[in-house]
Structures are given as C-alpha cells and as structure tokens.
Amino acid sequence: MEAEAITRKRRIDPKLVAAGWTVAPYQPAQSSSPPTATAVEEWPTAAGPADYALADQGGLRGVVEAKKVTIGPQGVLTQAERYARGITSGSLIRGEFGVPFLYSTNGEQIYFHDVRREQNRSRLVSAFHTPAALTEMLSRDSDAELAALANARVNQRLRDYQIEANQAVERAIAEGKRKMLVTMATGTGKTLTTVNQVHRLMKSGVARRVLFLVDRRVLAAQTVREFASFEAEPGLKFDKIYPVYSQAFRREDLGDDAPFDANVMPASLLTSPQLGDAFVYVTTIQRMSMNLFGGERALKIADEEIDAAVEQLDIPIHAFDLIVADECHRGYSAKDRAIWRDTLDHFDAIKVGLTATPAAHTVAYFENLVYRYEYERAVREGYLVDYDVVKISSDIRINGVFLREGEQVDQVDPETGTKQLDLLEDERSFDASEVERKVTAPDSNRKILHELKRYADEFETQHGRFPKTLIFAVNDLPHISHADQLVAMAREIFGRGEDFVAKITGRVDRPLQHIREFRNRPKPRIVVTVDLLTTGVDIPDLEFLVFLRPVKSRILFEQMLGRGTRLGGDQARDKDRFVVFDCFDGSLMAYFKNTTGITAEPAESDNKSNAQIIEEIWQNKDRDYNVRRLVKRLQRIAKSMNGEAYQLFAAFIPDGDLGDWASKLQTLLRTSFMPVMKILRDPVFQDLLEHYPRGGRTFVVASSAVDEVSSGWLIRGATGREYRPEDYLMAFTEFVRDEGEKLDAISVLLKRPKSWNPETLTNLRDALSRAPEHFTEANLERAFRAKYGKALVDIISMVKHAALDTAPLLTAHERVSAAIANVTAGRQLTDEQQRWMNYIEQHLIENLSIDREDFNLIPILSARGGWGRANRVFDHQLPELIERLNEELVAA
C-alpha cells in the first residue's frame, strides 16, 4: 500500500510544479519572509505543521492537506481549516482563518475551498491554481461585484421570462452555486437571454473571461452573430464593448446572406490569462477538447466534422470565469460524454448549461436546475404556437411486413446497390422496427404521402398557401435510402415540379445553403430529412411535421417537435399552430405524452474497450458485472460474424462458436479461470474481437406488399391530452350541459336569445377556450367535421347541438341567411336598404352578432357612413332591426 510520503512525491508534488509552484522544505527564515510561488513543506502552525503552505509575493496564500492515495480528500478539508486557523500572523479572514485558500488532495483528486465568503462551498478542481490565479482571486472583491450585479439595470427589451431566467442565475451565483441549468423551450430565445446574462456578469465584474461552448460550427457562427447584433448599451452593440472571439469559420458555416470576418481567438489569451482580460470566446466543444487533450480525445458528434489541425495547449484552470454550455442535453455516447464532462471539469469556473430538453445526466452534472420555461407556458403566453395531431394508421408501420411463399421481391445489396429479382421459396416476416431498415414497402410510403396531400390541399384551400412541410425519414443510406424514396414519390404525388420537394441531409451538397433556402424562399415547400434538421435550425414558417421515422428518445422527439413551435415568419404571418402527423397510429404522441420532463437517455456503452473489460476481470475489479458485460458483447459479435470468422475463432474456442462459448463463459471462469483468461488476454484473440469478418446483409424491396392506410385528427386539449373527435364532442356535450346554468353566455344562447350581443359571444368563446379540453372554434369545427361530415359548423350550432341532439348544424352563412330572411319577411326593402343589409350580412357571417359600435368600427360598415347613415336609411329603426337580428341568429 502506497504511504502518504510516496503519494506526496509521486503524485502531489508534480501537480504543484505543473501549476507553477516550486516545492521546497520549510526554512525558519521563511516565517518572516515567505518565498515567491513556493509550496513550502511542513509549514509550522499553532495546530501543527501544514503539509504544504502556498507562499507568494511575501505572504501566505493557502494551505494544502495531503493524504495517501487510498483516502478520499473531500472529508479532510477540515484539517486544512484547522491549520488555516493555526496561522495567526496578519489579519484574519472572517475572524478565524489566517489564509484564504484551502486544498485537500490524495494526489488524484483535489478539493478547494475559498473561505473568504461564508456562501462559498468547497469544490473539486482538476488541478491546483497557479500563483497568478490566486493573486487574481485576491484582487477581486466578490461582494462588490455581486452588489453591482444586483443593482444593474434591467434590459427592458427582454421578455419577462427572459428577465426571470437572468435573475434566477444571478441568485444562484450570489448563493455560492457554481453549476446551474437553465431550460427554455425551443424557440424562446435561450441564446438572446444568455447574451444579456453574459453582459450583466461582465459589466458587474462577476465574470470577465467567458467561454461559450456549442457543438456545431454553424451554431458557433450563429452565436457570434447574436453577440454582434445585441444592443448591450443604448446605441452600442455587445462586440463594441467587449471583444467576441471565435474559431475560424468556413464560408458554408456562415451563410451566403451575411458573411463576416471572424475575430479568431489568440492562443495567448487561453494559455496566459491576465487580470485585465475581458472577452467572450465562442467555440465548439470539440475544438476545446482537442485544445485540452489532443486529437485522440476529440468529441465526435454526428453531422459535424472534426477540425484536423487543432493545437494542444497548456490552458490553466482559471482561464475562464464563466462557461456557458449550449444544447448541453446532447445524447453523446458514454465515451464522448466522459470527454464532454472532462472538458467542462478542467476549468474552475461558474458553469451554466442551456437546453430545451434536459436529460438526467445533464441535470446530474449541473446540479441546480435554477430556471425552467416550459413549452406549455410559452404557448399560453403567446410566444410559441401549439400543435394539432393527425393520426395516420398504417398496418405496415404497426404490424410490419408479411410476405408469402411465391411473392416476388427485389433483393438489394446495401454495399453495392446491386439489385436481384427473387421469388420467395418460403414465407418471410419483418416486424415494424425493421421497416425501412431491412425491408421497404413502397405502397405504404405512397399511401401515407397521399394522405398527407389530402391535408395539405385542404390547408391550402383554407389559408391560400401550401404549408411548409418537414418529413422525418428513417435513413439516408446509399442504395437503400428511405429519404430518396420519399422525395421521388412526393415529387410525383404532389406534381408541382422538381424543386417543390428537396432532401436535406448530411449527404447532400452544401446542406446549410439548402436549409437557408428552405427557411427563406418559397421553394422547396416539402423537405425530407433524417437528423440534420432535428435541432439548431430556425424555420418559423414550418406548419406540417411528418413523423415517418420511429423515435425512442424523448429528447430527440421534443427537439424534432420544436421545429414547428415558432411563430410564423414572412410566409406564414397568421400561423397560430402547426400540425404533427404521427404515422404510427398515434403511438408516438401517446408514448411521449406519458414520459417525464427529465428522462435518462440510453447511451452507447463504448467507453471501455473489450481489452479493458477483460483486464478488469483479470484484476477482479467488479468481476461479476464485467463478465456479464463481456458476455453480451461476445453474443452481439456472434450474431454478426460470417463463416470465415468461425474459422478464425476456432483457433481459440471449440468450432469457433463464439455465441455458445459466451453463454458458458460465467461457468468456465469459475471452473477453469486461468485457461479461459489465457484465451481472453491473447492479443490475437482481442484483435479478432475488433476486426472479425462480418456477415453481409440484404435489403428487401417488397413491391407486392399492400398497406391499409387511414387517418384522422386528434384534438389536443389545454393539458396536452389528445382526444379522438367523438370523445372530444362527448366531453364538449358534458361541459355545455354541466355549465349551462353557471355560465351566463351559454344561458343567453340557450334561453335568453334577446340578450345576445358581441360581448356575450366574446364571453362564450373565452369560457369555452379556458376549459381543460380547450374548446376553441378551430378544435370544435374539426371534431364536428370528422363526426358529421359537415364543414364550417358555426359556434352557435355547436353549443345548441351539444345541449340538444336535434338542434340543426348550420354554417355561419346558413345561419345569417336564415336570420335575415326571418327579419325582412314581408318587408319591401329599398335598393339602398338592401345594399346595407348585404353589408350587415357580410359582417354577421364573420362575427355572428352586431351592435351599434360595430357600425363605426368595422370598415365594411364605417366606410359607408357608419351608424348615422345606416340609421337614416332604415328610417331610424336600426336599433330595433339589429336587436331582432341578434335574437334570430340564436333562435334557429
């Protein structure tokens, strides 16, 4: 067992030296004249000798308590406190400590505590602070900085919830918290909120050197633009007050519409941070991980290339005061998550995570979820739009593909694209999870797109524009691309030209340019993607989202859903909701509706190699778990190896049957440990586990498979619950009958028609929309159309029919026409009276009520002379006329 003295020489001394401290034994003369940048061993105190005293610039900065490697250092900080209290020369900090900075370490972990503020908490740091870092900390007055922050003016251009987010972060910092998480729904301005937060922290001095981490270069470019466009002070943009540095960008990262010259980060600002430095550095976490750990530990994230030539730098832990980790929910593999965590952990800084969709590991890392602005609240407050759901029922998407003996299929080689016609000599079945992965049924895709066209055509008729549509496909693999199949079919089915439908995936040329075209231009109107548009892309005019890809991750699902939540842009200014097409019989929406807001996401277990696991079995480290882990890996290998692999494995195990051997491995290790470990530890065997010959696969095009496809609306209530139309109308009927006596607006409609007026109609609409089921006219009209097959049923008919089954279902046009006919029956109208009645009719079709004020406010009436003119035309009998019209409107 390693003694404490050995731990100090082998592990602790090198870490002190690496941080710029000279390790030297205590000399009596040092008591009156402490040396510079020196870790003095066995410094005498009234409580006994401290293992190390950190001396610099003629004074003591801190003490270090050292323990042998087998002892956890967190619990021994109290000993460092005891030694600090035993140093009595000079003024005491908080009346008890002779030095401000305390450390405890076992050579592997280092705990640090700044005792100057009572709110400061001890924390784990990745290295010792340099002498310069401690000097900088001593020069700063945290209380004054926090006071300046608390008194900083509020930026009134921010929304209320964005100000709330800033205040929550600042309260957490004042309380001594170093990690915090802010979650805000996609499209609610996380970056803008954080840019304002950074300005407040920099101006007050709480944070001066700021690192803003993203995980895609295009997001880094967008963030730099956000800083450059933010008016931090009246008439001054942020980057005119503080430098905003970044990595170098390629043209495709920036966009063709507004290129800019990047202010590239000087390496010296990273390696030699100075007290007077104040800047923001925006970069990818991939690049920063390479700066810290070299290319071997670079994060590898889908759709993002790794910069080849990134220099590894010696960056001290105090290089930044604040780190913002944007989109910190990313579902990295276990190996990449470890690098992500190590990159953040390297720095001793305040860390703020930003996400719309927090994962369990994200919340665990950032510890304090200080602010949450949820999608439902954003919809309620009018900053995002809600969605409707169309359930598309596809037999193949739910039950899979069954092929009978004798059916004709095409077998496609995914490696070469070679296609071969085959007649099945036996039946074959594929479950739903294998559709578009091992088999495709073109009839299913075609019929689903025909259903989509039906809804798009109806939307275009109602709104005068074709809805921008995003379709999520299963894959875009060479030769068997589901995305390519959908693009080809959509071009044929919609019949509006080649450029009406496009594919935007990582395999297309200049994908970012295509994204900008989809966002800003009239065409394409339909885009098929896989992963590239799931996050980080702002396309406000999106109105249809089609899920033709099964999704298991709640985080991914919510990110995908977030593509449609933004308020409409120039092409869809009246957008008040979007439509989700669930092509799995509504099962996606049902599943994710029941998941929690914070969910653990499955991670690929590739953080340890097979060789590492085998070595841990050999060393008896958690042996039972590691044996089970290895057995699962061997069985996965067995399922994908070909005949040649069996021959190669036969040199080590009977007949090369790895699957059978793996199933017996636990028993074999108990009965024949050494012989089995000899096999497992053989370098050739371990290499074979990584590079064994794999079996080929085929992809089946089942052109003869016929799908049964139907669709229908699901009505979404205020609580997020989705209803079938018939269930929604049943709930509406119960509401009207239960609330008819309590709500005056319903009572007027059903029992006191003479009291009907625009105010009553407004009250009725408000009362219905506030119900938990969210009985808006749009929702009700959709439900009535689905059940009764009649379009545009008016709100009066809906309520009266709910109260009495025999009440007729009329459109607004039918109701108004009948009311006017009853009021004018037996009365001969002059030509001018008839013209005014036509104007009144047009107003009533839109508003279902009328009063005197409307004649002077509504253009179709006020432009013709308003109340005075109309009253004269009707021989001053207009008050009685509109009273009768209102009554007749609800009498039918």
Assigned token pair, 677: 């470990």
> Do the domains 142-380 and 386-398+438-590 sit in the same CATH topology, yes or no?
yes
In contact, 812 and 794? CB cutoff 8 Å = yes
Rounded Cα distance, 395 and 706, in Å = 9
| Residue 524: cis peptide before it, omega within 30 degrees of 0 | yes
By residue count, the chain amounts to 892
What pLDDT does 247 receive? 85
Give the residue extent of every domain in the chain. Answer: 4-137, 142-380, 386-398+438-590, 717-810, 814-891
pLDDT-wise least confident of 590-594, 683-687, 705-709, 875-879: 590-594
pLDDT-wise least confident of 32-41, 463-472, 532-541, 703-712: 532-541
**pLDDT(108) > 90:** yes
Task: Read off the DSSP letter of residue 740.
Answer: T
Between the ranges 375-379, 403-407, 489-493, where is the mean pLDDT highest?
Answer: 489-493
Rounded Cα distance, 597 and 355, in Å = 12
Q: Convert the pLDDT of each residue in 423-433 to its tens digit.
A: 988 999 999 99
Mean pLDDT value of segment 24-36: 93
In contact, 779 and 761? CB cutoff 8 Å = no
* Residue with tokens 């935007």, as numbered in its chain: 504
* Residue with tokens 């596809």, as numbered in its chain: 394
| More confident site: 826 or 98 | 98
Q: Of 473, 470, 456, 575, which Cα lies nearest the Cα of 518? A: 470
% pLDDT > 90, the chain: 67
The one-letter amino acid at 113: H
Rounded Cα distance, 691 and 699, in Å = 24
Q: Where are the alpha helices (DSSP H) in 664-754?
A: 665-671, 673-680, 683-691, 725-739, 744-751
**pLDDT(66) > 50:** yes
pTM for this entry:
0.82
722: which strand partners? 716
Rounded Cα distance, 360 and 756, in Å = 54
Q: Is 165 helix (H, G, I), strand (E, B) or coil?
A: helix
Q: Of 523, 521, 584, 518, which Cα lies nearest the Cα of 557? A: 584
3-state secondary structure 628-659: HHHHHHHHHHHHHECHHHHHHHCCCCHHHCHH
Predicted confidence band at 297 (pLDDT cuts at 50, 70, 90)?
low
Predicted confidence band at 303 (pLDDT cuts at 50, 70, 90)?
very low
**pLDDT(253) > 80:** no
C-alpha distances out from residue 199 to 144, 171, 266, 611, Å: 17, 16, 21, 49
Rounded Cα distance, 147 and 548, in Å = 53
Angle ∠(481,482,485) on CA atoms, nearest 5 = 90
C-alpha distances out from residue 679 to 282, 378, 810, Å: 49, 60, 81
In contact, 326 and 304? CB cutoff 8 Å = no
866: which strand partners? none
**pLDDT(305) > 70:** no
Rounded Cα distance, 887 and 820, in Å = 11
3-state secondary structure 566-615: ECCCCCCCCCCEEEEEECCCCHHHHHHHCCCCCECCCCCCCCCCHHHHHH
Mean pLDDT value of segment 527-551: 87
| Residue 34: cis peptide before it, omega within 30 degrees of 0 | no
Q: Convert the pLDDT of each residue in 572-603 to its tens digit.
A: 999 988 999 999 998 888 877 765 555 544 44
Q: Is 422 helix (H, G, I), strand (E, B) or coil?
A: strand
Mean pLDDT value of segment 644-655: 94
Predicted confidence band at 527 (pLDDT cuts at 50, 70, 90)?
very high
Task: Read off the DSSP letter of residue 706.
Answer: -
**pLDDT(249) > 70:** yes
245: which strand partners? 281
What pLDDT does 603 receive? 44
Burial 305-343 (b: 16+ CB within 10 A, else e): eebeebeeeebbbbbbbbbbbbbbbbbbbebbbebbeeb
Assigned token pair, 120: 């400061």
Kindly state the helix (H) or strand (E) to which residue 39 belongs, with its residue range: strand 38-43
* Residue with tokens 């709330």, as numbered in its chain: 164
Q: Where are the alpha helices (DSSP H) in 805-864?
A: 812-824, 831-847, 854-857, 859-862
Mean pLDDT value of segment 348-361: 88
124: which strand partners? 111
What pLDDT does 1 receive? 66
Rounded Cα distance, 44 and 87, in Å = 8
Rounded Cα distance, 531 and 460, in Å = 28
CA of residue 684 relative to chain centroid, distance = 44
Contacts of 27 (CB under 8 A, 6+ apart): none
In contact, 559 and 536? CB cutoff 8 Å = no
CA of residue 267 relative to chain centroid, distance = 32
**pLDDT(8) > 50:** yes
Assigned token pair, 558: 């919510």
**pLDDT(237) > 80:** yes
| More confident site: 603 or 496 | 496
Paired sense of beta strands 709-716 and 386-394, if any: antiparallel
Looking at 3.40.630.40, 3.40.50.300, 3.40.50.10190, 3.10.20.30, the CATH number of the domain 386-398+438-590 comes to 3.40.50.300
Contacts of 95 (CB under 8 A, 6+ apart): none
According to CATH, the topology of domain 4-137 is tt1808, chain A (3.90.1570)
Q: Is 884 helix (H, G, I), strand (E, B) or coil?
A: helix
Q: Is 847 helix (H, G, I), strand (E, B) or coil?
A: helix
Is 2.40.33.10 the CATH classification of the domain at 142-380? no
Q: What is the rounded end-to-end Cα distance, in angstroms, of the chain?
A: 94
Rounded Cα distance, 316 and 131, in Å = 11
Mean residue pLDDT of the chain comes to 90
3-state secondary structure 309-346: CCCCCCCCCCCCCEEEECCCCCCCCHHHHHHHHHHHHH
What pLDDT does 302 receive? 47
Q: Is 480 helix (H, G, I), strand (E, B) or coil?
A: coil
Rounded Cα distance, 108 and 10, in Å = 11
pLDDT-wise least confident of 94-103, 790-799, 828-837, 847-856: 790-799
Q: What are phi and psi of 847, to 5 degrees?
A: -120, -15
Paired sense of beta strands 179-184 and 350-355, if any: parallel
What pLDDT does 602 receive? 44
Burial 495-506 (b: 16+ CB within 10 A, else e): eeeeebbbbbbe
In contact, 386 and 716? CB cutoff 8 Å = yes
Rounded Cα distance, 428 and 401, in Å = 8
| More confident site: 152 or 359 | 152
C-alpha distances out from residue 677 to 408, 619, 681, 683, Å: 50, 11, 6, 12
In contact, 685 and 634? CB cutoff 8 Å = no
In contact, 422 and 408? CB cutoff 8 Å = yes
Handedness of CA 293, 295, 301, 303 (dihedral sign): positive
Mean pLDDT value of segment 212-220: 86
